[in-house]
A and B are shown apart, each in its own frame.
Chain A
Amino acid sequence: VISVPAAVMFAILLLLFLLLLAVKNVVSPPDLFSGLNAGLPGDVPELTLCPPEFVASIFSHDDQEFVAATKSLHLEKLFKRERKAVALVWVRQTSAAIRRIMREHMIAARQSKDLELMTEVRLLALYVRLMFVCWVLFAVIHSTGPLWLRGLAVYADLLSQRIVGAQQAFGSATVAREIRGAGRI
């Protein structure tokens, strides 16, 4: 037996899907032949985004240290605001590029006779994970700023290195104990 709230939830889900269908047709008219010139998979251009050096400097503390050295609160505030805006644009741009990759795949793959459900599900899972990361990055940058994120990443990296070190030490100690134990036998 399906409960009333579950039934209503199903109905709302269906109506939402239909709304999406109706809206999609109004916003972007059907692109009938877009799959035609998609070309071969090998021809698909790679992700074209900001150069890595530029991106690294968005999250880097170097500029902040430079601005802090001027000891101007106004300048520091302005810098933080601008840096946050740039970081948010970068996240938006990256998520748009990821969406484009998936869309290009869907349009190219839809005409294929050999479409495989499992392969499509795996790609979709990877896509959803990436979009989730983008969403988290967006939320974190929006609430705390890109520099804090870099600090967190540095801390997480240090922590993971310590854990790896501790694991290695523990592993070698265990092996040494086993060797000693084996020697006694």
Chain B
Amino acid sequence: MLSQSIWWGGLALEVLLLLRGLQGKFARRYYVFYGYISFVLSQDILLFFAYQWRLQFYRDIYWSAEFIGVVLGCGIIFEVFRTELSAYPGVARMARNVLVLVFALAAAKGLANAWNDPRWWVEANTFEIERALRIVQAVSIAALVGLFLSYSISFGRNVRGILLGYGLFIGMRIVCLSFVSIQTHNFWFYAYSGCYLLVLCLWLIHLWSFSAVQQPQTSVRLEEDYQTLAAATRRRLQGARGYLVKAVRP
């Protein structure tokens, strides 16, 4: 009964989210995100039919769709990156480097694991593989959020909602994949499903209407003087260090 209510609730919220995006004509702007929502919606409907009439295919459809969802989720991260950092080319380059580093490290770790223990791919269950992929996504989102916070990059309401919702979903998914039971529907199964409803509500609130990302006016002078700026900051920080030391030492 609880599963059914969560399922129907999720479906209704997904439809509403899509309708608002299409009505407000901002679905085109965040096309990866709305593509992801459409995909999840069709996945839910497909799984419903499979559950009702073709139960033997349910597991295969579920896990195939989950992995496509992971790939589309990476697209959401890049969409946030694309829309928010277009006015900050230097930070965008840095974020790109950081994301490439995260993915390269993850790929290297995966290859090293496979090299050391070739049976890993066979023995690891779908939960473990998905958890590993979700952790890579979590690190990417955390790195991106860290950069946004450090450089005080302003968010539009829409993108902030997408990032908060998707981040929350990934965090909860990792926790649930760590504790969820394959055989029975334990607390973590319902927690995961319930959390997805919360994420949908968060998205709906933030994406109810379009909110333009206000771009700062570009300052040509600063673009030309990064090295001078960095040198000035270094000098000021070293001045602060000297000030601290001089105060305490005789």
Contacts and interface: CB of A to CB of B under 8 A. Distances in A.
B216 to A, nearest CB: 5
Given A14-B142, A49-B243, A130 B94 contact: no
Interface in A99-115: 101-115
B36 to A, nearest CB: 18
A47 B178 CA distance: 49
Interface residues of A, number: 75
Size range of the chain B interface in the assembly = 35 or more
Given A8-B174, A36-B216, A157-B249, A47 B94 contact: no
B237 A130 contact: yes
Contacts of B243: 47, 49, 52, 55, 94
B145 A21 contact: yes
Interface stretch (A64-72, A76-84, A147-155, A176-184): A147-155
B170 A14 contact: yes
B239 interface: yes
Contact of B168 (A18, A59, A106, A123): A18
**In the complex, which of the residues B132, B142, B179 has the most CB atoms of chain A within 10 Å of its own CB atom?**
B142
B219 A20 contact: no
A113 B94 contact: no
Contacts of A33: 216-217
Interface string A1-21: 110100110111111011011
A15 to B, nearest CB: 4
A105 B175 contact: no
